[in-house]
Amino acid sequence: MKVRGAIAAAAIAAAVSVAFALIGPERLWSTIGPADLGPVTFETLKRRESANDGLACPPQLCEAKGDLEPPVFEVDAEVLRTAMAKVIASEPRITVVHIDDEAMTDRYVQRSAVFGFPDTIVVRYLDQPGSTSTMAIYSRSQLGNGDMGVNRARIERWLAKLRAIVPEDDFSAHPDHQNRRVR
């Protein structure tokens, strides 16, 4: 009986593997729903109960507790957006899904390397006093109850790449920078 069960499980796994190879990950995952999970409103964002998202958000903007606080940069939001677009374009398997110039918000889908799991990433750019800017980033997985830290790591990687090309505001290192007003 155990042998039959093992053979049946192996047959199912083989059938799924063949289907995955024939149809491809994008079509397979689209049967679950669209890869793009849609926009978010950072001011009222509720974090997921499952551990499959990551958030970088100025505390004055988000009610939800972020994983990290984004830095303030010595450029206006439009320049920051242009620089971040270059950072994001350097990432593999990423697609621009929506650009909202009025709200200074962009949305992307990035897929994992092997299985093509889709994650939706929303980035909102915020002008700050003194010709500086910051951003809010929310990255979330479409599938699963855990992401093994992938979404938070993505945000950290993107911010590290951005810091390499855009100067941070010296004030952002000051402990009171949290009192700055986010527009």
CATH value at residue 88: 3.30.310.80
Q: What is the reported pTM?
A: 0.80
Indicate the pLDDT class of residue 7, thresholds 50, 70 and 90. confident
Number of domains forming the structure of the chain: 2
16 plus 71 within the same structural domain: no
Instruction: Give, for 47, the enclosing helix (H) or strand (E).
Output: none
Q: How confident is the model at residue 50 (pLDDT cuts 50, 70, 90)?
A: confident
113 and 68, same structural domain? yes
| 92-118 pLDDT per residue, tens | 999 999 999 999 999 999 999 888 889
User: The tokens of 46 are what?
Assistant: 């509720």
Can you read off the two tokens belonging to residue 26? Answer: 């994008």
Place of tokens 């010709």: 131
Distance, CA of 50 to CA of 71 (rounded, Å): 26
Do 143 and 67 share a domain, yes or no?
yes
| pLDDT tens per residue across span 153-164 | 999 999 999 999
Q: In what order do the strands lie in the sheet with 94-100?
A: 53-56, 132-141, 118-128, 105-111, 94-100
